[in-house]
């Protein structure tokens, strides 16, 4: 992985790495389409603050004995937790 990207990534190391399981993503999309919802809905588990990119990828690089990545912060990514309250208010819950 590190060799393929040259050890440098365009996002911010301090940004939060919001992740969603593909099954929850599919269920959220199904709910939005089935109920004809409009507008923006965040669809990431938000009960716990996610790790930063730096912390998450440090686990991978350290585990393989690779040097830490360089974060260029060229892409704006969230530095604060994202809320999925609007989606959850529809009755949706994250399973995975």
Q: Tens digit of pLDDT for each residue in 43-78?
A: 999 999 999 999 999 999 999 999 999 999 999 888
Is residue 1 pLDDT above 60, yes or no?
Answer: no
Q: End-to-end alpha-carbon separation of the chain, Å?
A: 26
Q: Strand, coil or helix: what is 70? A: strand
pLDDT at position 95: 96
Q: How far apart are CA 43 and CA 47, in angstroms?
A: 12
User: What is the rounded average pLDDT for all residues in the chain?
Assistant: 93
pTM: 0.78
Q: Strand, coil or helix: what is 55? A: helix
Is residue 5 pLDDT above 80, yes or no?
Answer: no
Q: How confident is the model at residue 4 (pLDDT cuts 50, 70, 90)?
A: low
């Amino acid at each position: 992985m590190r060799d393929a990207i040259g050890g440098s990534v365009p996002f911010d190391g301090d940004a939060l790495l919001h992740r969603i399981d593909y099954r929850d993503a599919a269920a959220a999309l199904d709910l939005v389409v089935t109920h004809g919802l409009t507008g923006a809905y965040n669809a990431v588990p938000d009960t716990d603050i996610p790790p930063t990119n730096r912390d998450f990828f440090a686990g991978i690089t350290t585990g393989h004995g690779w040097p830490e990545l360089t974060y260029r912060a060229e892409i704006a990514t969230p530095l604060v937790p994202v809320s999925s309250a609007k989606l959850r208010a529809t009755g949706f819950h994250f399973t995975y």
